[in-house]
């Protein structure tokens, strides 16, 4: 046990949920530090309960610990009560496994899955005793690396990060380790940090922001140019070709205390080509790479036996699209070893009857609620966002679910979408109301919960040029739906704070100058901003004013085809002209097919990197029309028998 543990122990009786800080998970590595090894501290900048289940961190930590030249530990952002205790006691941020001080590591890596947690990165660096500005770090400080989906617009965090790691990390962490290892072996001569960063810039997937100069004209960007020969004009992401080569995590961590997604998680495929235009994940993680079904079965069987979990989640961006998903699910249900007691969680399901059939297989006893995400209220709107769910698909799915005993449906929608009119917004209520009516045929207590989010146009999507609705406009649209649903107690409306959507847009869409706002918010005490109890809209607005940043310019303004976007030099594989064309097609209401089953339209994600789809089934799944525009034909057999499909039969 390291020196820090004995100093931490007395503090833990004074804070909420002390189990956040003790580690001890089943499956935890026993890291053996050595002078010749590159030591990584991988941080999820949120609480332990949110961060522990993060699969990316677990995968990368395992891969690093299997290497001879690396060792990896984990950390999470201490809750404000613990942060205060640490500062008073003069104890730095520490690793969870061996309670080692953060500054004893060579690399501190953050996973940024969302943007509102940016101020937590500064908080965590500060607790670690690492200067928050990259420019102030010297040869003795750890290298600060950031990965995750939010790094596709790295600019708002550019001042604080040494290296962004873009794309799949499985191979990239090894490449970074090798460069850092050489630097360590060289004895880190004085002033060599910039040379190290230049070496890292040569690695595909690494973006070193200090090697780029940005010039501005007022609020606009004129250019983003490399200032070192090693830095490429366009930074390419990394993509692993085949998930079968990466059966991680092999030892999923089982925490001692309760966390979110507290279950076995098995990633069944990565990437999605449904082509939903609002979905950043679906754009930046292409192509589709399915894990072989046999490997999925092995990972489930071994995982359940090892962990003792009673629940397994089959994760992906659209789980019902996995080739042979029914067989995999049936296999778990029928496995005598799990005694039929294992519950199966299928996140991110399509809106169709096939999905309900699948859900019926897994819900053996308790049928409480089912969740669908039609995303928009009218077919016109859904064509624009390319979420090609017909009204009939939704009604068929919902009726099938009600008829099989589910009493409640939860429907996810976005509002503030491009060209959305009030009739599209109100179409959300109409859909929900019709769903309730269908349900009342089977259950007097049938109800629908509508969950409404404000749309934030993200980088590297066809909607990146779209000016986000203001908080006021989003509030007005929510108000329309509140008025419409007020007298119907079968339709429950829940909505996301429109002000949080504005700030989400601000930190997602800003340029390098936004770092000053992030810093000011943090210095004013703004941490854990994605937590409702800590989110402080006024603080963000005041900080923007103080730093001369126009929220209108960053968030709500429509952008031009020829303007330099803050993320122009970052490449997710998607050709700029593909994205622009898809944006024009969207405005014309043209859909785009799912290219895993139809000919390639060359978005760039495969051709740029010499990779391709790995999909076991040559034909799309039957049972609905979503995204394929072709599998509604009558000669496609619906493999799951569901009674009375209503409109879809």
Near other proteins by CB under 8 A: residue from 189, 229, 310, 639: 310
> Which residue's CB is nearer to other proteins, number 256 or number 587?
256
Q: Choose among 377, 385, 420, 416: nearest CA to 496.
A: 416
Q: Contact between 3 and other proteins (CB under 8 A)?
A: no
Choose which of 22, 228, 244, 576 interacts with other proteins (CB under 8 A).
22
How far, in Å, CA of 568 to CA of 156, rounded?
Answer: 14
> Which of 588, 613, 610, 583 minimizes the C-alpha distance to 598?
613
The verdict on 522 binding other proteins (CB under 8 A) reads: no
Nearest-approach distance from CB 370 to other proteins, in angstroms: 17
Q: Which is nearer to other proteins, 19 or 281 (CB)?
A: 19
CB atoms within 10 A of CB 560: 10
Element (H, E) at 299: helix 293-307
Return the number of the residue (311 or 536) whose C-beta is nearest other proteins.
311
In our burial notation (b when 16+ CB lie closer than 10 A, e otherwise), range 179-216 reads: bbbebbeeebeeeebeebbbbbbebbbbbbbbbbebee
Alpha-carbon radius of gyration of the chain = 25
- CA neighbor of 69 nearest in space, from 177, 219, 151: 177
Scanning 201-209, 304-312, 387-395, 414-422 for contacts with other proteins by CB under 8 A, the matching segment is 304-312
Indicate the DSSP class of residue 469: P
User: How many degrees, rounded to 5, is the angle at CA 581 between CA 580 and CA 586?
Assistant: 100
Among 7, 12, 412, 541, binds other proteins (CB under 8 A): 12
CA atoms within 13 A on the CB side of 291: 24
Q: Is 84 a residue that touches other proteins (CB under 8 A)?
A: no
The span from the CA of 422 to the CA of 511, in Å, is 32
Contact present, 211 and 197 (Cβ < 8 Å): yes
Annotate 241-270 with b (16+ C-beta within 10 A) or e (fewer): bebeebbbbbbbbbbeeebebebbbbbbbb
Nearer to other proteins, 310 or 639 (CB): 310
CB-nearer residue toward other proteins: 6 or 223: 6
C-beta closer to other proteins: residue 304 or 373:
304
Q: Is 309 in the site for other proteins (CB under 8 A)?
A: yes
Contact status: 10 vs other proteins (CB under 8 A): yes
- Does position 308 interact with other proteins (CB under 8 A)? The reply is yes
Least distance to other proteins, CB of residue 442, Å = 19
Minimal distance, residue 31 CB to other proteins, in Å: 16
Compare residues 5 and 379 and give the one whose CB is closer to other proteins: 5
Phi, psi of 213 (to 5 degrees): -110, 135
What's the closest the beta carbon of residue 368 comes to other proteins, in angstroms?
Answer: 10
Q: In what side-by-side order are the strands of the sheet with 447-454?
A: 369-375, 408-415, 447-454, 491-495
CB of 322 to other proteins, least distance (A): 25
Integer Cα distance of 334 and 234 in angstroms: 50
Task: Tell whether residue 30 is a contact of other proteins (CB under 8 A).
Answer: no
78, HSE (Cβ side, Cα atoms, 13 Å): 28
Q: How many residues are given for the chain?
A: 649
Size of the site for other proteins (CB under 8 A): 30
221 touches 563 (CB < 8 A): yes
Please tell me whether residue 24 binds other proteins under the rule CB under 8 A: yes
Q: Is 9 or 178 the residue whose CB approaches other proteins more closely?
A: 9
Residue 73 CB, shortest distance to other proteins, in Å, is 15
475 to 112, 289, 493, 499, 554: CA distances (angstroms): 28, 39, 13, 9, 19
- Nearest CB to other proteins, comparing residues 51 and 526: 51
CB of 1 to other proteins, least distance (A): 9
**Does 306 contact other proteins by CB under 8 A?**
yes
627 burial via Cβ count (<10 Å: 0-12, 13-18, 19+): buried
Q: Is the CB of 96 or the CB of 595 nearer to other proteins?
A: 96
Strand partners, 369: 408
Q: Does 23 bind other proteins (CB under 8 A)?
A: yes
| Interaction of residue 643 with other proteins, rule CB under 8 A | no
Q: Is 554 helix (H, G, I), strand (E, B) or coil?
A: helix
Smallest distance from the beta carbon of 14 to other proteins, in angstroms?
Answer: 8
* Alpha helix positions (H), 373-412: 379-384, 391-403
Residue 88 lies near other proteins (rule: CB under 8 A): no
* Binding string, residues 245-284; x marks residues near other proteins by CB under 8 A: ---------x-xxx---x----------------------
Using CB under 8 A, pick the residue from 195, 307, 443, 449 that binds other proteins: 307
Q: Restricting to residues 325-384, which ones interact with other proteins according to CB under 8 A?
A: 336-339, 341, 365-366
By beta-carbon proximity to other proteins, the closer residue of 262 and 430 is: 262
Span interacting with other proteins, options 22-30, 86-94, 418-426, 547-555, rule CB under 8 A = 22-30
- Does residue 405 touch other proteins according to CB under 8 A? no
HSE (CB half, 13 Å, CA atoms) of 498?
Answer: 15
21 vs 160 by CB, closer to other proteins = 21
**Given the complex with other proteins, which of 11 and 197 has the nearer CB atom?**
11
Tell me: does residue 619 bind other proteins (CB under 8 A).
no
Q: Is 305 in the site for other proteins (CB under 8 A)?
A: yes
The minimum distance between CB 190 and other proteins, in angstroms, equals: 40
φ/ψ of residue 334, rounded to 5: -85, -10
Q: Measured in whole angstroms, how far is the alpha carbon of residue 14 from the centre of its chain?
A: 33
24 vs 229 by CB, closer to other proteins:
24
Q: What is the DSSP string of 174-235?
A: HHHHHHHHHHHHTT--TT-HHHHHHHHHTSTTEE-GGGEEEEEETTEEEEEEESSTTS-SSE
The residues of the shown chain that bind other proteins, judged by CB under 8 A, are: 10, 12-13, 17-19, 21-24, 26, 254, 256-258, 262, 304-310, 336-339, 341, 365-366
């Amino acid at each position: 046990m390291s020196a820090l543990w004995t100093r931490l122990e007395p503090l833990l009786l004074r804070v909420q949920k002390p189990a956040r800080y003790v580690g001890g998970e089943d499956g935890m590595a026993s890291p053996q530090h050595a002078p010749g090894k590159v030591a990584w501290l991988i941080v999820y900048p949120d609480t332990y309960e949110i961060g522990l289940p993060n699969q990316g961190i677990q995968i990368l930590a395992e891969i690093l610990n299997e290497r001879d030249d690396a060792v990896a530990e984990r950390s999470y952002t201490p809750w404000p009560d613990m942060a205060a205790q640490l500062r008073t006691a003069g104890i730095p941020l520490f690793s969870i496994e061996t309670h080692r001080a953060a500054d004893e590591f060579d690399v501190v890596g953050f996973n940024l899955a969302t943007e509102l947690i940016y101020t937590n990165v500064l908080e965590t660096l500060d607790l670690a005793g690492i200067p928050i500005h990259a420019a102030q770090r010297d040869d003795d400080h750890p290298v600060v690396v950031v990965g995750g989906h939010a790094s596709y617009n790295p600019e708002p965090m550019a001042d604080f990060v040494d290296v962004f790691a873009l794309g799949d990390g499985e191979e990239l962490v090894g490449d970074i380790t090798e460069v850092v290892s050489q630097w360590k072996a060289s004895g880190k001569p004085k002033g060599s940090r910039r040379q190290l960063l230049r070496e890292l810039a040569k690695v595909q997937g690494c973006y070193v922001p200090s090697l780029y100069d940005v010039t501005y004209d007022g609020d606009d960007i004129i250019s983003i140019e490399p200032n070192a020969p090693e830095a490429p004009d366009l930074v390419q992401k990394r993509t692993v070709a085949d998930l079968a080569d990466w059966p991680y995590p092999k030892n999923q961590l089982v925490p001692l205390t309760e966390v979110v997604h507290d279950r076995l998680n098995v990633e069944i495929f990565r990437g999605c080509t449904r082509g939903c235009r609002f979905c950043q994940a679906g754009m930046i993680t292409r192509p589709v790479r399915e894990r072989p079904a046999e490997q999925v079965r092995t990972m489930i069987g071994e995982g359940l036996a090892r962990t003792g979990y009673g629940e397994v989640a089959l994760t992906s961006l659209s789980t019902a699209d996995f080739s042979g998903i029914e067989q995999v699910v049936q296999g778990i249900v029928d496995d005598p070893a799990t005694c039929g007691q294992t519950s199966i969680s299928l996140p991110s399901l399509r809106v169709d009857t096939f999905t309900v059939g699948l859900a019926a297989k897994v819900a053996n006893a308790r049928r409480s609620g089912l969740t669908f995400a039609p995303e928009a209220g009218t077919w016109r709107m859904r064509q624009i966002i390319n979420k090609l769910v017909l009204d009939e698909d939704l009604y068929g799915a919902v009726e099938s679910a009600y008829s099989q005993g589910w009493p409640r449906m939860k429907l996810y929608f976005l509002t503030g979408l491009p060209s959305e009119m009030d009739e599209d917004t109100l179409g959300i209520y109409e859909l929900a109301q019709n769903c309730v009516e269908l349900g009342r045929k089977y259950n007097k207590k049938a109800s629908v919960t509508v969950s409404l989010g404000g749309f934030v146009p993200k980088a590297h999507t066809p909607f990146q040029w779209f000016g986000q609705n203001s908080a006021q406009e989003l509030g007005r649209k929510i108000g329309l739906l509140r008025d419409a649903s007020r007298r119907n107690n079968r339709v429950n409306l829940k909505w996301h704070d429109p002000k949080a959507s504005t700030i989400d847009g601000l930190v997602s869409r800003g340029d390098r100058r936004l770092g000053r706002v992030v810093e000011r918010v943090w210095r004013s005490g703004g941490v854990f901003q994605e937590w409702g109890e800590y989110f402080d809209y006024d603080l963000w607005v005041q900080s923007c004013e103080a730093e001369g940043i126009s929220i209108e310019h960053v968030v709500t303004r429509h952008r031009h085809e020829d303007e330099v976007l803050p993320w122009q030099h970052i490449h997710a594989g998607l050709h700029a002209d593909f994205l622009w064309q898809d944006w024009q097609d969207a405005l014309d209401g043209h859909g785009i097919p799912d290219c895993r089953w139809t000919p390639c339209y060359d978005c760039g994600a495969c051709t740029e990197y010499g990779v391709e789809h790995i999909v076991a089934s040559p034909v799309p799944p039957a049972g609905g029309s979503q995204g394929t525009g072709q599998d509604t034909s009558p000669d496609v057999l619906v493999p799951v028998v569901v009674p009375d499909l209503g409109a879809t039969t």
